[in-house]
């Protein structure tokens, strides 16, 4: 029987819980495959609602604890998630010790469909200074092709999705939606949000928007208040309804995506989960001041061979430079779903990230 390896995963919670969301999914997936994981995080409070049930094989530690000498055994694998740098005290106390076997040290990068992923995935980078001098880090890039590190996907995900029942799950949230189109909203503050509300309110299909807790709820509530002040009868026919959701666990966020007819997502983790859901999706990419996010967005749309209507909607939704003054296009859910399902089928033929990661580590020891 293969001996379990010990993984130390380091995470700093920087933006809207996406970093810790990915790290927790990875830690839990590794543990369910028989590995042992220590998650070192500077703010574990989001896990109280994101992952309320403990996973055997995963231990949580505060980032500050990593700086202290302890009797904990050294890890076989180190993962710096999304450019966070492991504290030099940890390297000094736990890695750079006489007789210690050097760990496999990985820098888990952000997800992208850009061409540099294939060129850089798996490349070694010698550590030139500090207590880790002489060790090797490897760049590990998640991605959408066989030349990348793949996407997170649990081994039982398809089985859980097939067994999901929408109506009982909605009732648990106190919702009933007979004959309604359901739309999940997980966003930052898109400039086109007000236009979307108007379009849905004027549409022929009755829609219920299920709004996620936190920043998205604040954005939607603010946009609704603005419209109520400027045009009190904008939703007079009542074709658009709202449900502001409590904080959902990662499991229930999957359920939300499976339950809806259209999913608005943001960041990295929710994008991947929306792809696996196989429903029409709109991705709000995290904006960067230098415009690099626009290149990243177009690479993703190219990767999924997005139809023209989905490209245009994404560009307007993300305030892309080519579409800042354009009107929000009509929804074209049938075309959008066909695009997502085709991309999903291709991605399901690739090994998932955890499987590839285990294989990469075995070759690097």
Residues with catalytic annotation? 19, 268
Q: Is the dihedral of CA 219, 225, 229, 235 positive or negative?
A: positive
Q: How many whole angstroms separate alpha carbon 60 and alpha carbon 218?
A: 30
Place of tokens 């969301």: 21
- In contact, 38 and 73? CB cutoff 8 Å: no
Q: How many whole angstroms separate alpha carbon 132 and alpha carbon 88?
A: 8
The residues with which 207 forms a beta bridge, in sequence order, are: 181, 240
Q: Going edge to edge, which strands form the sheet with 124-126?
A: 58-62, 36-41, 6-11, 77-81, 104-108, 136-140, 124-126
Place of tokens 């996010």: 293
Q: Is 53 helix (H, G, I), strand (E, B) or coil?
A: coil
Q: Going edge to edge, which strands form the sheet with 181-185?
A: 240-244, 207-211, 181-185, 262-266, 281-284
DSSP 167-227: HHHHHHTT---TTPEEEEE--S--TTHHHHHHHHHTSSS-EEEEEPTTHHHHHHHHHHHHH
Q: CA separation (Å) from 43 to 20, 60, 108? A: 9, 11, 19
Q: How many whole angstroms separate alpha carbon 37 and alpha carbon 77?
A: 9
């Amino acid at each position: 029987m293969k001996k379990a390896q010990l993984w130390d995963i380091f995470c700093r919670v920087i933006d809207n819980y996406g970093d810790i969301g990915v790290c927790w999914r990875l830690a839990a997936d590794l543990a369910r495959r028989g590995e042992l994981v220590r998650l070192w995080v500077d703010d574990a409070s989001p896990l109280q609602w994101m992952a309320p049930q403990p996973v055997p094989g995963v231990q949580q530690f505060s980032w500050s604890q990593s700086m202290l000498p302890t009797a904990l055994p050294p890890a076989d694998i180190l993962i710096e998630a999304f450019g966070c740098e492991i504290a030099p005290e940890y390297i000094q106390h736990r890695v750079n010790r006489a007789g210690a076997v050097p760990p496999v040290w990985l820098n888990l990068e952000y997800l992208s469909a850009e061409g540099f992923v294939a060129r850089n995935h798996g490349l070694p980078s010698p550590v030139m200074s500090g207590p880790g001098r002489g060790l090797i880090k490897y760049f590990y890039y998640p991605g959408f092709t066989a030349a990348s590190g793949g996407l997170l996907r649990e081994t039982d995900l398809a089985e859980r999705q097939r067994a999901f029942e929408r109506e009982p799950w909605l009732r648990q949230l106190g919702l009933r939606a007979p004959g309604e189109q359901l739309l999940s909203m997980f966003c930052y503050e898109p400039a086109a949000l007000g236009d979307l509300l108007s379009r849905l309110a004027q549409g022929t299909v009755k829609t219920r928007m299920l709004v996620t807790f936190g920043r998205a709820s604040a954005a939607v509530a603010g946009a609704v208040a603005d419209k109520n002040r400027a045009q009190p009868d904008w939703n007079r026919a009542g074709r658009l309804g709202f449900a502001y959701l409590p904080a959902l666990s990662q499991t229930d966020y999957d359920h939300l995506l499976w339950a809806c007819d259209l999913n608005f997502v943001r960041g990295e983790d929710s994008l991947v989960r929306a792809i696996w859901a196989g429903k029409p999706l709109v991705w709000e990419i995290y904006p960067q001041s230098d415009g690099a996010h626009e290149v990243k967005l177009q690479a993703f749309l190219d990767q999924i061979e997005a139809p023209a209507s989905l490209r245009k909607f994404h560009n307007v939704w993300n305030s892309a430079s080519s579409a800042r003054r354009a009107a929000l296009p009509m929804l074209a859910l049938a075309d959008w779903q066909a695009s997502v399902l085709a991309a999903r089928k291709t991605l399901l033929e690739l090994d998932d990230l955890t499987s590839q990661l285990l294989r990469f580590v075995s070759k690097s020891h």
